[in-house]
Structure 1
Amino acid sequence: MIGGEPLTGRDGELAVIRRAIGGNRSGVVIAGPAGVGKTWLAREALRCAATAGECTNWIVGTESARALPLGAFIGVLGNAMSDPLTNVRRVINSFVAQQRRRRVVLGIDDAHLLDGLSALVVHQLAQSGGVRLVVTLRTGGEEPDAVAALWKDRLLARLDLEPLSAPATHQMIEGIVGGPVDARSVTRFQKLTGGNALFLRQLVTDQVAAGRMRQVAGVWMWDGDVAVSPSLSDTVGRQMGQLSPRLALVVDTLSQCEPLSVDVLRDLVSRDDLESAESMGLINVERTSGGLMARLAHPLFGELRRASAGEMHLSLVRGQLAQRLGADPDADMQATVRRALLTLESDLEPAPELYLTSARHAMTLLDLDLADRFATAAARAGAPGADGVRAMNLLLLGRGEEAEAALREMTDRPDGHHWATVRAANLVWMLGRPVDASSVLVGLSALPETAAQVAERLAVEACVDAVSARCEIAVEKARSALASEALPDFHAMMAALAFIMATGARGDVGELGAVADEALKRATTSFQASHMRFWFGAVYGRACRLTGRIDEFVLTAEQLAQSARDVPGLAYANLALLLGNACLVRGHAAEAARLVHEALAGVQIHSITTGLKPASYFALAEAHAKLGQPDQAGDAVAAARSCVPPDFLFMQTALALADGWAMAAGGRLTEAVANVHEAARIARDRGQPTHELACIQAAAQWGDSSQVGRAHELAGALPLPLAAAVAAHAQALCDRDGEGLLTVSAQYRRIGDRAAAADAAAQAAIAFNEGQQRKRGLYAAAIASELADECGGLCTPALRTPAGLKLSGRQRDVVELVVAGLSNREIAEKLVMSVRTVEGHVYRACQRVGAQSRDELASIVRSGPGRPNG
């Protein structure tokens, strides 16, 4: 532990050091640039050695002691000084004497600063082979020959310490703040610090202290500007505060926009100043195919200057830079957005057309917050069309009330029909008011309409029908709208969303992939549709899950994640939910929970009230339930229930399934099954056969086979491998057929649902043992255990029931509640039975597994098939 904080992010390197100390060599040299954590690692290695009872010493090389013979070992010599060689021998003997009592581990920090005699002592100790050495060395400079000989003569192993990797950075940040950190914040810290452990520790500490980094929905997020403390300034580079005005201008210019062409920079600063900045290590210049490009030597240099330079000065710099960049054509959208932002934050006159163009570009690049700034500035400057772009952007931002106010005013214009349909879409998706949206659309249908206007209206009407669970009508309207070549990108996405939702619920997979591909193609190029790509991906993923196309969903999610770099703000929350659902359908519940927590943090920080919020809670409830965490699952269900719009009938199946999983995780299996049975009945009445199938599958995973007849009917009606698997699952459960359940496990695995496969294998293990087929039972239990481990550790009701424990009906409910920690009286009240009956069930269950108490019974049940008890 260094400075009271545990070592994180360097576990692999620490293991290498500990092996070097305990191996054939005399220790290790830890080499690397400043700030990568050499001292931190060396101290941790010595702490571990001291904990193991070894004698440790810490020696530091410094510039001031370098001028003195044996300066680093002055403390060892004390007052008894003599000729240099005698002093060297005395220092060596002092450590050898310690070695006679117990092993000595000596840490030498900053060995490149040792004087010659101190370096000789270290070299002689390494040659002696007794004392173990942990030596740190800064690369890029000169070190004494005796130090270089440590690894060149193979006396010590050499460990070249690289900057922290992204995973190590993530681990270190979480160690500092003491909790999960969202991936965007980690990426930002990694980019700013370059993996420098010293900079990272200081930067994280500063952001937390300044309130820029805070915990939201259980996740630490950094969404503000960089807080720069005096400590950070001292850590990164004191020369930042001592620059001449001309050198400061070089740094300030690059701090506002990098990288920059040297040709551009030379029009703003002198060549001599550029050369001086490069020689001082303030900037890096590299030759590229496009010529010489300059960037700051370290990203934090720009943050330090932005924090200390005056705003009037920086406004002037931005204006000069924007004008110079405007002299050349913009290379791409990013270049236009960059130039517009410099103009917006400068002392130049407003540029309305540039702002409006950049608002559209920022929407395409997924930065809706920046788009709102540009659109607002364009509207204030009188750019035609700016109000429409801003209203659309407000809708996509989830700021439904603001969008409603803006769109309501726009419906009286000549193009009011178009904006009325956008308003209806906002009422459906952002405000959860499909009935009000329907009223707007009915009013439009009573007016004369062109064919293009009809298509726009039908696209949004299809959304109203889809969320209202009128799937057949939604499909017809969406298909009609998509047939129009004049359909705007926004309306095309609306129609595609409705089509995917409705066809997924109906199990009609024929056109599913083609419609999804076309919609996602639009979403990569259109400012109206770009931000919807992750939202659409999640809806498509739900349809794929309902129809058993899990591999297709996972592939789509991966492709969408790769379609944009450094996804900002609200877009990242949608992406996190998409990736979380992709993990969940594969059975990786722990990773799913982590990602969905990040999505909910984004929901909270952006005050989102759209479907993203309840959808996140649905996924979170299922993930926690499959991890055997009933309290967290129940909390997620309660949160979901509080934010599902009452008229969103389409979400009711997902809510029922989330609730069922939470109940099952808490041992309330009878209630869980009854809950999804009712949801299945409703889905059947509404013409949502795949929703019904999902309910029957969940019940089967909890051990219920009562819907076997209906499962076979659905398998006959739906030409889907998933439907066949669910029917076979229910049948095998009904027949207590171990071989059949193993076959079902394989079917689920081919579909891609490892969690369901694990449950079926666990149920097979029980069926085999009931039939006295112990070897087959052990085999099935091993498969269940392997699948659960592949998923990162599942703890579902099926996996909690060990092979050999015969449970059914109320008996199983009682044991599940014992596992959940309820007393016999609490179980009796919950299940409406006498305490004596509960006691009887518990007693018989203990007898069957050889448990001596309720606690031992719970421990055995938790262990699951193929796992050791306890």
Structure 2
Amino acid sequence: MTTFERDAKTLELPWPFTGREAELELVRGSVAGGRQGIVVTGPAGRGKTRLVTEAVRGTDCARVAGTPDTRGLAFAAFAHLLPESVSLHRAVQLLSSVRLLLIDDAHLLDDASAALVHQLAVHGRTRLLVVATEGARTPGAISRLWTGELLPRLALEPLPREETARLLAAGADGPEALTVNRLHRLCQGDLRLLRELVDAVRERGLPRRVPDSDEWEWRGPVPVTATVRERTAHLLDRTGPGERETLDRLAFGEPLPADADTLDLAALEGLEAEGLVHVDEQGAVHLAHPLHGPVLRAAAGRLRARRLARTPDSCATALETETAALTRAIAESDVRAVLAPVGEWLVAECGGIPARHAAVRARFARLRGELREAAAWSREGLRTTPGDPSCHREHALAAAQSGAPEHLPSTAAPHAARH
């Protein structure tokens, strides 16, 4: 389903609506017949507004929205629907004739508007579609819509990786598998961030065409866009003793052991308590969000980056550990995901990866049925070592199993000719 109205927040043509068919039917059903409506919640950028906009498309729907600057003005969100001076009782009477009302950014409503929405839900004459951002300070009258069981709540889940791939491939061309994985990992379901990153990558000329393909790939640093800064402001503003140094060390070297001499344990405990880092079962410390590392690295000055940065050679031990974990999973036919951030970082930002690791990654991807990923990993290995037989074999197997033609990187062509 593709729409052509400009997005009210970005003034750009929206991406095709995809991957939310079940949620769309649920929202539509909630405002049909004798239903009273629904509250849709989720983190910023999750696609809440787009979902409800699609749900009411073609209907007679009144719309209001909260804004940060009008939280102190009574009934500010309803100014276009109500007379200048009105009581809550009179406002309920005036709006009772509205059959369907969409309230966007309800967490930003002024108290009077929030009370009005609550009373409309109590009276039940107006069907309500309420959108609120999770984690934001929300008026009690709004949160009581679902905690008081006046309206059901739909907590919007992140768009799955497969649907993210469909969304990215909706245009004339789309990204290859490792780029899809990287974008999905960085954005964690934040569709606004996803769009901004893709636009920034394109505008800066960073994509390169995959040979003999209509796909493109993105390698290199993450562009620090306005939305990226907004999403990571709480991280960049850390000023506690040792906090920024600890975060930067993790950004340039994660995962690190919790007892590493270079980490400030007091700062680490505070960061863990606030959800900015997490410690895995093996005792290794990671930044909590995949976007945090690239942003912290981009924000570091040249001297700081030179002091903290690791080189591909310095990652050899960590990469070998990841290769061993993947090899064990293959031997045991264990298709559960294996965390391997070092290999992903080398491909994404360092321009190359050892062919042995690439071949193992490709084989593991084939075991999981991820044939496009398998082909992409084997291509990366062949770029580094054009004559590597394991990568060539994995690329051929991925192509054969998917039914796709075998297109090798140009640097691997001589090797391919010998076979």
Q: Note closer, same or farther for the CA distance 1:141–1:172 as it changes in structure 2 (3 Å cut).
A: same
Q: 2:100 aligns with which of 86, 97, 105?
A: 105
Q: Name the CA distance, whole Å, in 1 between partners of 2:208 and 2:102.
A: 37
Q: 1:570 aligns with which of 380, 398, 401?
A: 380
Pairwise CA distance, 1:316: 1.0
Q: 1:26 touches 1:156 (CA, 8 Å); kept in 2?
A: yes
Q: Name the CA distance, whole Å, in 1 between partners of 2:71 and 2:392.
A: 54
Q: Name the CA distance, whole Å, in 1 between partners of 2:376 and 2:242.
A: 33
Kindly indicate whether residue 276 of structure 2 is the aligned counterpart of residue 271 of structure 1: no
Pairwise CA distance, 1:202: 1.5
Kindly indicate whether residue 161 of structure 2 is the aligned counterpart of residue 166 of structure 1: yes
Pairwise CA distance, 1:14: 1.8
Summarize deviations over 1:282-311 as a string: whole Å, max 9, x none: x223362x33x4222222121112223223
Counterpart residue identity of residue 167, structure 2: M
Q: 1:58 touches 1:107 (CA, 8 Å); kept in 2?
A: yes
Q: Note closer, same or farther for the CA distance 1:235–1:89 as it changes in structure 2 (3 Å cut).
A: same
Q: Name the CA distance, whole Å, in 1 between partners of 2:402 and 2:378.
A: 21
Q: 1:366 touches 1:530 (CA, 8 Å); kept in 2?
A: no
Q: Note closer, same or farther for the CA distance 1:582–1:153 as it changes in structure 2 (3 Å cut).
A: same
Matches within 5 A, 1:207-286: 207-216=201-210, 217-244=212-239, 246-264=242-260, 267-278=261-272, 281=275, 283-286=276-279
* SS of 1:67 mapped into structure 2: coil
Pairwise CA distance, 1:81: 1.0
Aligned counterpart, 2:85: 81
Q: Note closer, same or farther for the CA distance 1:560–1:298 as it changes in structure 2 (3 Å cut).
A: closer
Q: Note closer, same or farther for the CA distance 1:574–1:120 as it changes in structure 2 (3 Å cut).
A: farther
Matches within 5 A, 1:208-607: 208-216=202-210, 217-244=212-239, 246-264=242-260, 267-278=261-272, 281=275, 283-286=276-279, 288=281, 290-291=282-283, 293-318=284-309, 333-334=320-321, 370=352, 527=356, 531=359, 558=367, 567=377, 569-571=379-381, 575=394, 578-584=397-403, 592=404, 596=405, 600=407, 603-604=408-409, 606-607=410-411
Q: Note closer, same or farther for the CA distance 1:577–1:192 as it changes in structure 2 (3 Å cut).
A: farther
Aligned counterpart, 1:9: 19
Q: 2:173 touches 2:216 (CA, 8 Å); kept in 1?
A: no
Pairwise CA distance, 1:560: 8.4
Summarize deviations over 1:92-138 as a string: whole Å, max 9, x none: 344334x4xxxx43221222333333222212323444433221122
Aligned counterpart, 2:413: 609
Counterpart residue identity of residue 29, structure 1: V
Aligned counterpart, 1:658: none
Summarize deviations over 1:265-287 as a string: whole Å, max 9, x none: xx224334334444555x22336
Q: Note closer, same or farther for the CA distance 1:568–1:232 as it changes in structure 2 (3 Å cut).
A: farther
Q: Name the CA distance, whole Å, in 1 between partners of 2:401 and 2:310.
A: 45
* SS of 2:120 mapped into structure 1: helix
Q: 2:278 touches 2:286 (CA, 8 Å); kept in 1?
A: yes
Q: Name the CA distance, whole Å, in 1 between partners of 2:395 and 2:19.
A: 23
Q: Note closer, same or farther for the CA distance 1:96–1:560 as it changes in structure 2 (3 Å cut).
A: closer
Q: Note closer, same or farther for the CA distance 1:23–1:202 as it changes in structure 2 (3 Å cut).
A: farther
Summarize deviations over 1:579-631 as a string: whole Å, max 9, x none: 442244xxxxxxx5xxx4xx63xx35x5442575xxxxxxxxxxxxxxxxxxx
Q: Name the CA distance, whole Å, in 2 between partners of 1:205 and 1:366.
A: 21
Aligned counterpart, 2:180: 186
Q: Note closer, same or farther for the CA distance 1:251–1:62 as it changes in structure 2 (3 Å cut).
A: same
Q: Note closer, same or farther for the CA distance 1:287–1:609 as it changes in structure 2 (3 Å cut).
A: closer
Q: Name the CA distance, whole Å, in 2 between partners of 1:262 and 1:228.
A: 30
Q: Name the CA distance, whole Å, in 1 between partners of 2:200 and 2:160.
A: 21
Q: Name the CA distance, whole Å, in 2 between partners of 1:239 and 1:152.
A: 28
Summarize deviations over 1:388-442 as a string: whole Å, max 9, x none: xxxxx7xxxxxxxxxxxxxxxxxxxxxxxxxxxxxxxxxxxxxxxxxxxxxxxxx
Q: Note closer, same or farther for the CA distance 1:116–1:307 as it changes in structure 2 (3 Å cut).
A: same
Pairwise CA distance, 1:184: 1.7
Q: Name the CA distance, whole Å, in 2 between partners of 1:251 and 1:93.
A: 54
Counterpart residue identity of residue 81, structure 2: V
Pairwise CA distance, 1:263: 1.0
State the TM-score, normalized to the length of structure 1: 0.38
Q: Name the CA distance, whole Å, in 2 between partners of 1:19 and 1:136.
A: 16
Counterpart residue identity of residue 303, structure 2: M
Aligned counterpart, 1:114: 109
Counterpart residue identity of residue 380, structure 2: L
Greater Rg by CA = 1
Summarize deviations over 1:343-386 as a string: whole Å, max 9, x none: xxxxxxxxxxxxxxxxxx99xx99997457xxxxxxxxxxxxxx
Q: Name the CA distance, whole Å, in 1 between partners of 2:100 and 2:213.
A: 42
Q: Note closer, same or farther for the CA distance 1:22–1:559 as it changes in structure 2 (3 Å cut).
A: closer
* SS of 2:19 mapped into structure 1: coil
Superposed CA RMSD: 4.2
Aligned residues: 376
Q: Name the CA distance, whole Å, in 2 between partners of 1:560 and 1:75.
A: 54
Summarize deviations over 1:487-529 as a string: whole Å, max 9, x none: xxxxxxxxxxxxxxxxxxxxxxxxxxxxxxxxxxxxxxxx5x9
Q: 2:207 touches 2:218 (CA, 8 Å); kept in 1?
A: yes
* SS of 2:168 mapped into structure 1: helix
State the TM-score, normalized to the length of structure 2: 0.74
Q: 1:31 aligns with which of 41, 56, 66?
A: 41
Summarize deviations over 1:765-801 as a string: whole Å, max 9, x none: xxxxxxxxxxxxxxxxxxxxxxxxxxxxxxxxxxxxx
Q: Note closer, same or farther for the CA distance 1:297–1:559 as it changes in structure 2 (3 Å cut).
A: closer
* SS of 1:108 mapped into structure 2: strand
Aligned counterpart, 1:62: 67
Q: Name the CA distance, whole Å, in 2 between partners of 1:233 and 1:179.
A: 25
Q: Name the CA distance, whole Å, in 2 between partners of 1:116 and 1:137.
A: 15
Aligned counterpart, 1:40: 50
Pairwise CA distance, 1:161: 0.6
Matches within 5 A, 1:190-209: 190-209=184-203
Pairwise CA distance, 1:189: 1.1
Unpaired segments of 5 or more residues in structure 1?
Answer: 338-360, 373-392, 394-526, 538-555, 585-591, 613-644, 651-870
* SS of 1:77 mapped into structure 2: coil
Counterpart residue identity of residue 61, structure 2: T
Unpaired segments of 5 or more residues in structure 2?
Answer: 325-341, 382-390
Q: Note closer, same or farther for the CA distance 1:142–1:12 as it changes in structure 2 (3 Å cut).
A: same
* SS of 2:377 mapped into structure 1: coil
Q: Note closer, same or farther for the CA distance 1:94–1:215 as it changes in structure 2 (3 Å cut).
A: farther
